[in-house]
Amino acid sequence: MGFPGTWMTESESVVYRVVPKCACSTVGQILHYSDHGRFFDGDIHDAQTGLHKWAFDASQPRITDVVKNRRAPAFTFVRNPYTRILSSFFDKICGIQRNGNRYRGKLVPQLVQQYGVAVEGEFDQIASFRRFLLFARDTIRWRKPMEPDIHWSAVSGHVATFIVNGGRYDHIAHTEEFNPGMQAVLDAIETPHSVDLAAVPRFNESEGHGPKRAHPVEDFFDDLSMHLVREMYKRDFELFGYDIDDPSSKRPVRAIDLDEVHAKLGD
């Protein structure tokens, strides 16, 4: 299976396992800058050069060699499941994508018809999000009416593929503490160009895709919604140190134990 979702600098200084909705645009741009002294002009996900990506056939043997022989540190970022699923809703379901279309073509009309999700005009954001949450649970629990999308499938699932296929993380950082986490990665490697994190813009490629969130995070989650989130993301909360009982508690409540993550996701 290899290492899907994995990027690596062309200088082979560091390996990054991309996790959707966890600052991946900003991380990718930082890696690009660390090699080339400039940011990629556009969405880093569209870049065909400047980074090794598992999606490129020519990059796969290079990534495999570096990962298997641990010739460079590997890292990833994780995020609070409450804010991540909410961000996925506003970006992917409510928003118009950078190609000018709705995400995945018929997905939104299907959600409107089958789950009563509204995305047009002055819709009820809370009601529509909770109906989307039922759909997301159905895709994760029963893989119906479709396979779970990468933007709302569990973070632990993304993180696990790298471990199961023979990789090991040297750093796993919280998106909510981005600068300290990214600085720890940069401090552990040598790059052709130094990176000043304080001067790096946030490359939030989903910004502006959809309507502005009108309520605090916790208002979107009633008792049933919290139950669905626990059902989908219990392992994420446990492994990555987030508060499962309080949607308003965005930041992690404990550090990540790398040995625990490898032990529990390495099966």
Long-range contacts from 51-57, C-beta under 8 angstroms, 24+ separation: 51/7, 51/8, 51/9, 51/10, 52/7, 52/8, 52/9, 52/10, 52/12, 53/6, 53/7, 53/8, 54/2, 54/3, 54/4, 54/5, 54/6, 54/7
Residue 175's nearest CA partner among 5, 33, 20 is 20
Structural domain tally of the chain? Answer: 1
Cβ-contact 59, 52 below 8 angstroms: yes
* Position with higher pLDDT, 122 vs 182: 182
216 is a domain residue: no
110 is a domain residue: no
Is residue 207's pLDDT more than 90? no
Residue 209 pLDDT: 65
Is residue 206's pLDDT more than 90? no
7 is a domain residue: yes
Is residue 211's pLDDT more than 90? no
- How confident is the model over 72-106, as pLDDT tens digits? 999 999 999 999 999 999 999 998 887 888 999 88
pLDDT band at 31 (very low <50, low <70, confident <90, very high): very high
CA pair distance 97, 239, nearest whole angstrom: 32
Beta bridge partners of 52: 8
pLDDT band at 62 (very low <50, low <70, confident <90, very high): very high
Mean pLDDT, residues 152-156 taken together: 97
Q: What percent of the chain has pLDDT over 70?
A: 98
Written as six digits, the tokens of 163 are 């471990």
**Least confidently predicted of 61-70, 115-124, 125-134, 244-253:** 115-124
248 is a domain residue: yes
136 is a domain residue: no
44 is a domain residue: yes
Is residue 120's pLDDT more than 90? no
166 is a domain residue: yes
3 state SS of 16: strand
107 is a domain residue: no
> Which stretches does DSSP call E strand in 35-148?
51-53, 74-78
Buried b (16+ CB within 10 A) or exposed e, 149-186: bbbbbbbbebbbbbbeeebebbbbbbbbebeebbeebb
Residue 205 pLDDT: 62
Residue 215's nearest CA partner among 107, 103, 123, 134 is 123
CA pair distance 201, 179, nearest whole angstrom: 12
Residue 219 phi, psi dihedral angles, 5° rounding: -70, -20
Degrees, nearest 5: CA angle 257-265-263: 55
Is residue 37's pLDDT more than 80? yes
Q: Which domain covers residue 184, as residue numbers?
A: 1-97+151-210+233-267
